Structure 1
Amino acid sequence: MNIEQIFQDKSIKAKEKVTTIGDWLLKNELPLEELLVFADNQKASDKATCIEAVEYATKKQPALADESLLAYVTDSLKHDEPRIKWESAKVIGNIAKLFPDQVQKSILNLLLNAENQGTVVRWATAYALAEILKLKTTANKNLIPKIEMLSEQEENNGVKKKYLDALKKVKK
């Protein structure tokens, strides 16, 4: 079975697609670049599933990522589809430690989503920003005040906790 067949087979549930594709990435049975090219030519829901598969794989093995993936998910943060935004943010959170000096554009795009009306988008954004903050790079000079402001404005406790936990770790 290949990637096109997985998406054409309506008997395969979304989560099963994610784990199957993610496992292919982990086993080097599917090149990451091939998945991203495929994702670009799909409808939003299928593109989101592809990015979720990348999130699944990078959570287990962040080293799968390269700079082109960081650029891809950073650009995907600007997509209209909320699920694409949140899955992209989670990938950035998973891989930021590999690219501490290359996350500036990611930070800018994440901050655009930090006040999104969708709680899941805000939570995933908070996760990614928190992981970047923990890297203690020079970006923190500008990022810490923004995260403090976001945590004060945030009404959802889960999102707020992501910010506050990261701030505590950075200020130790």
Structure 2
Amino acid sequence: MENTRIHAEAAESEARISEAEKEQAAYALAELVRSPSDPDTLIMPGADVEAIRPVFELGWAMGVRHGHTGPALAGVPVDRGTVARAFVLLLSERPAARTAPDLPDAGPVVWQRVRYHGSLRSRHGLYWTGAIHQYALESGAAELRYDLCEIRDDRLETVVSRVRRQSLTPLPEYRAGV
């Protein structure tokens, strides 16, 4: 009976990821990315490890709190701010740059704020990157184009589409979604 709890009470009680959980997650992540043949070598680039760290910590804390990795804050959900922060940090690491290494600057990511200064002067201003499309060029190279959106009445509306990278200035602002 000591593990019995009322679901409504657990849902109302939230807590940030503790330092102990972060330390446990860091140790577990280090073990996962270590090469089995050489413990001093990582099997993935350090930048990629840092990019996934917030989401790994989130998953670790959620596992701990649900009793899957050992007791800590068992049954206490992670607060929404921590969840949102993990995904914003992950988006801000420019995953497109890792999937398109042939492009020198892959540009902004989805849900990043950008300033448009392209050929449609009447549309110059601030927008959210709503979609990224990759097109094959005759040379065999790839080119990314962006759809720029505004949020009106809680709806996403594309304002400018097929925008070239050179017509955008990415800004350090990200949105979790609509």
Smaller-chain TM-score range? under 0.3
Normalising by structure 2, we get a TM-score of 0.25
Normalising by structure 1, we get a TM-score of 0.26
Greater helix content = 1
- The structure whose Rg is larger is 2
Greater strand content = 2
